[in-house]
């Protein structure tokens, strides 16, 4: 996968861990399977906007905050 998938996954994992949620609890809250969350966090899959929105909702943050964090780490 491309770097963007890895950066997105790393950012999702960081926000999830900061929120204190396990992958299982996070997956349940987002309405997706735990193994899919794992694949996302490892940057192994491309995520649709719909799934990205579900992840942001489960983290209780706006989707824009995820992208802002990725850009911040890229130095943009």
Cα separation, 11 vs 13, in Å, equals 5
Cα separation, 18 vs 33, in Å, equals 20
pLDDT of residue 73 exceeding 90 = no
The pLDDT value recorded for residue 71 is 93
pLDDT of residue 1 exceeding 70 = no
pLDDT digits (tens, 9 = 90+) for 11-39: 999 999 999 999 999 999 999 999 999 99
> Is the domain 3-74 a CATH 3.90.1150.10 member?
no
Per domain, the residue ranges of the chain are 3-74
Q: Side-chain half-sphere of 44: how many Cα atoms within 13 Å?
A: 7
């Amino acid at each position: 996968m491309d770097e963007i998938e890895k950066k997105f996954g790393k950012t999702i994992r960081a926000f999830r861990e900061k929120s204190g949620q396990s992958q299982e609890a996070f997956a349940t809250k987002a309405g997706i399977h735990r193994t899919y969350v794992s694949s996302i966090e490892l940057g192994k899959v491309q995520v649709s906007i719909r799934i990205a929105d579900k992840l942001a909702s489960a983290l209780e943050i706006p989707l824009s905050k995820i992208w802002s964090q990725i850009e911040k780490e890229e130095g943009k």
